[in-house]
Amino acid sequence: MLDQILCIDDDPITLMLCKKVIIKSSFSNEIITAQNGEEALSYFNTIRYVKNKPNQQPQLIFLDLNMPVMGGWEFLDHFNSPEFSEFNTIKVVVLSSTIDPEDLEKAKQYPMVIDFLSKPITHSMLEYLKNKIE
Amino acid sequence: MKNKTNQVIIIYILISMFVAIVSHKLLQEYISDSNNQFYNFTKDILFIFFTGIIFKLILSKNDTRNIAIFEKLKNTNDEIKESNEKYDIVAKATSDTIWDWKIQEDSFSWNKGIESVFGYSDNEVGDSSKWWFDKIHPEDSIKMSIKLYSFIEQKTENWQDQYRFKCANDTYKYVLDRGFLLKDENGKAIRMIGAIQDITKQKEEEQRLKLLETVITQSKDSIIITETDSIDGKIPNIIYVNPAFSIMSGYESDDIIGKSPDIFNSPNSDSNELEKLLDAIKNKEECLIETISLTKDKEEYWVRFSMIPIYNSENELSHWISIQRDITDEKNQEKEKEQLIRELTQNNKDLKQFSYITSHNLRAPLSNLTGLLNLLEDIPIENQELKEILDGFNKSTHLLNDTINDLVKVIIIKDNPSIQKEAVLIKEIFENVFSQLNFQIELYKPIIKLNFEKVSILNINKAYIESILLNLLTNAIKYKSENRKLKITITTHEIDDTVVLIFKDNGIGIDLERNRDKVFGLYQRFHNYPDSKGLGLYLVKSQVETMGGTIEIESEVNKGTTFTLTFKNKQQ
């Protein structure tokens, strides 16, 4: 079981669904959510200066692509930059309902993206990811 | 001369008779008969002496005259001889054919040229002017004879004419004929001598040049000829423009000759292109540019402009030829086409984006629904009515999900015009497809006949051909006849550079008379089967066409269906 994961999605129902399935599958202890890329980045900026809890950072990110304010691609561009170098070992799973084949190709360009999965999140999907991460 | 002799004799007789009568009268008067003998003798002596003197006088006078005449004749004769010799030498030396026409007698003679130039042997050559006239080309003969007779009647000073003269082999030669007249002392034309020159080569060359000239004068392309050297870094000065150039640019020949084509430049001319042209001129190289030019009225037009250096036989640059074409329309069309392509590309992109976004926006909430329904599965529901409602909700959600997934497949196929092709073994594809349909094949045990002996390898997209065959096989099983065992025959063969795959079943068939247009349509269903969505054949057709192939169907209700798939089998 993971300690902490981050779900980035603008749709509250999707986030709710994520939480429920993750809890049911005992995938992670703690689930943090962000409504878009910018929110997620500011979360990383806050935990950067919290020194007393050293290992408390997400071990996996579920990332949606189409979001207002800052979408998934823009988030990945920032996250992949030197500015967030201390975090870019965190694995990212793109979880989207996109069907554009170009998105799939594009996702491969980011080293931290380990998979590109289609919504909705399911129990079997989490089992698959568990095996993959281990 | 005869008259003179008669005259002399008559005079002599008259004088002699006169002397005889006078002497007789004198003798009668003064002399007696006794002396008759002596006086008669004296009289005869006197008479002979007298007539002798008269003869001497007359003859000596005649003699001197005869000598003069003889001398004159001799001279004339020598002159004629010499002239004849000269004539013969000239006639032999010249390549001209000489003719000699005695007009009054209409006797006509030719020199050797009639044989060597025109091929007539001696016995073929006629000896009258008619023969000559007969050999003149009918189109030229009237004009020629008018000129000739007006010359003979001495209305004109000189005679020379060009006409076509028939050879012995019935071809015609262009000739230049020049002649002069010999006149008698009364100035009447008695003889005409002419020289015929074969100018066929010159004439043909002239006609060839005229023909070639029409290329320049009649061409719709503008043609300019310029000098060799450029002055002050300009294009060399113009020495000729053709009519098409005047029409294109508005400049008449006189306006422009001696000037540089630089005056056509517009402020909007492409300076890079002009630079290129000037460099080519400097290096004496051929060049082709496209630029904007100005007409005389300062109107702009697009021109495709070439400069070609022309070298003479000494390999020195002799002039430049420039061919120009007004390509304004072409350019405009090109611009319009580009604009259209841009718009279409943009539209297409927008539509594609639209379809992706639409399907994404449909899929996003739908995936939530599916996810939520998955969560419900683990929660026991007591209320029977709620359970039924949720069941219906569940089924509808999954149906909607399937439909959207199918559409997504279509969008992806349609959006992929150039897909990867590879050489695949047909047998291998079928093994994959059969393993996917293992369950159904075990269940219905269809008779499947495969014949890939003629063509065993296809150059094709593997995923697509698998999907195509899977769809066709699924259909064949789904729509089999209840009355007979399902039999499927699949064969391949090659026609030219295409591969034909024939897929035949003995199922329930489709009524093509009613449905031919719809068979491959989206969401077209021909049988009310519960799991039939009307998407399979649409996908099959899309995939076949994406790979550059075609698909045709033949079907008879309750007999079966045959699909004929054709693929180009060229390696790309």
Summarised one tens digit per residue, pLDDT across range B24-76 is: 787 777 766 656 667 777 777 887 888 788 878 888 888 888 899 999 999 98
State residue B308's pLDDT score. 92
| Cβ contact, residue pair B411, A99, below 8 Å | yes
Written in H, E and C, the secondary structure of B69-124 is: HHHHHHHHHHHHHHHHHHHHHHHHHCCCEEEEEECCCCEEEECCHHHHCCCCCHHH
Structure confidence at residue B572 as a pLDDT band (50, 70, 90)? very low
Give per-residue pLDDT as tens, B325-344.
999 999 999 999 999 999 99
State residue B417's pLDDT score. 64
| Residues found in chain B | 572
pTM of full prediction above 0.80: no
Q: Spell out the long-range contacts of B420-425 with Cβ–Cβ below 8 A and sequence spacing 24 or more.
A: B420/B461, B421/B459, B421/B460, B421/B461, B421/B547, B421/B572, B422/B459, B422/B460, B422/B461, B422/B462, B423/B457, B423/B458, B423/B459, B423/B571, B424/B457, B424/B458, B424/B459, B424/B460, B424/B462, B424/B465, B425/B456, B425/B457
| Cβ contact, residue pair B375, A101, below 8 Å | no
State residue B150's pLDDT score. 86
Q: What is the dihedral of CA A63, A68, A70, A76, to 10 degrees?
A: 30
Residue B5 has pLDDT above 80, yes or no: no
> Which residues of chain A neighbour B368 with C-beta distances below 8 Å?
11, 13-14, 17, 119-120
| Cβ contact, residue pair B367, A11, below 8 Å | no
In chain B, the residue whose alpha carbon lies closest to the alpha carbon of A123 is B374
- Pick from B367, B372, B416: CB nearest A97: B367
State residue A52's pLDDT score. 61
The bridge status of strand A28-34 relative to strand B300-311 is unpaired
- Pick from A66, A99, A120: CB nearest B371: A120
**Per-block average pLDDT, block size 10, for chain A (134 residues)?**
91 91 91 93 86 74 90 92 87 86 87 90 91 84
- Interface probe for A, chosen from B350, B353, B368 (most Cβ of A below 10 Å), is B368
State residue B274's pLDDT score. 86
| Cβ contact, residue pair A119, B367, below 8 Å | yes
More confident residue, B269 or A42: A42
Give per-residue pLDDT as tens, B210-256.
999 998 888 888 999 999 887 777 888 999 999 999 999 899 988 88
User: Which candidate, B476, B478, B495, places its Cα nearest to that of B487?
Assistant: B476
| Cβ contact, residue pair B368, A66, below 8 Å | no
CB neighbours of residue B105 within 10 Å: 10
- Pick from A13, A98, A101: CB nearest B368: A13
In chain A, which residues touch B (CB < 8 A)?
11, 13-14, 17, 20-21, 24, 66, 96-101, 118-123
Determine the 3-state secondary structure of B191 from DSSP. Answer: strand
State residue A54's pLDDT score. 58
Give per-residue pLDDT as tens, B507-558.
998 888 888 888 888 777 787 777 777 788 888 998 898 888 999 999 999 9
In contact, B230 and B264? CB cutoff 8 Å: no
> What homologous superfamily does CATH list for B220-326?
PAS domain (3.30.450.20)
DSSP string, A46-82: HHHT--SSTT-S-SEEEE-S--SSS-HHHHHHHHTSG
User: Which candidate, B293, B232, B233, B301, places its Cα nearest to that of B264?
Assistant: B293
Average pLDDT for residues B97-113, to the nearest whole number? 88
> To the nearest whole number, what is the mean pLDDT of chain A?
88
State residue B269's pLDDT score. 83
Q: Phi and psi (nearest 5°) for B317?
A: -65, 125
| Cβ contact, residue pair A122, B415, below 8 Å | no
Sign of the dihedral through C-alpha B79, B80, B81, B87: positive
State residue A53's pLDDT score. 59
> What homologous superfamily does CATH list for B95-205?
PAS domain (3.30.450.20)
Residue B394 has pLDDT above 50, yes or no: yes
> What homologous superfamily does CATH list for B422-568?
Histidine kinase-like ATPase, C-terminal domain (3.30.565.10)
How many inter-chain contacts (A to B, CB under 8 Å) are there? 56
Task: Please give the helix or strand (H or E) that residue B541 lies within, else none.
Answer: helix B536-546
Domain CATH for A64: 3.40.50.2300
Residue B349 has pLDDT above 60, yes or no: yes
In contact, B4 and B62? CB cutoff 8 Å: yes
Count of structural domains, chain A: 1
Its ipTM equals: 0.78
User: Which candidate, B133, B95, B93, places its Cα nearest to that of B113?
Assistant: B95
In chain B, which residues touch A (CB < 8 A)?
356, 359-360, 363-368, 370-372, 374-375, 378, 408, 411-412, 415-416
Determine the residue type at A26. Answer: S
Helix residue ranges, H only, B321-416:
328-376, 384-414
Domain residue limits at A62: 2-133
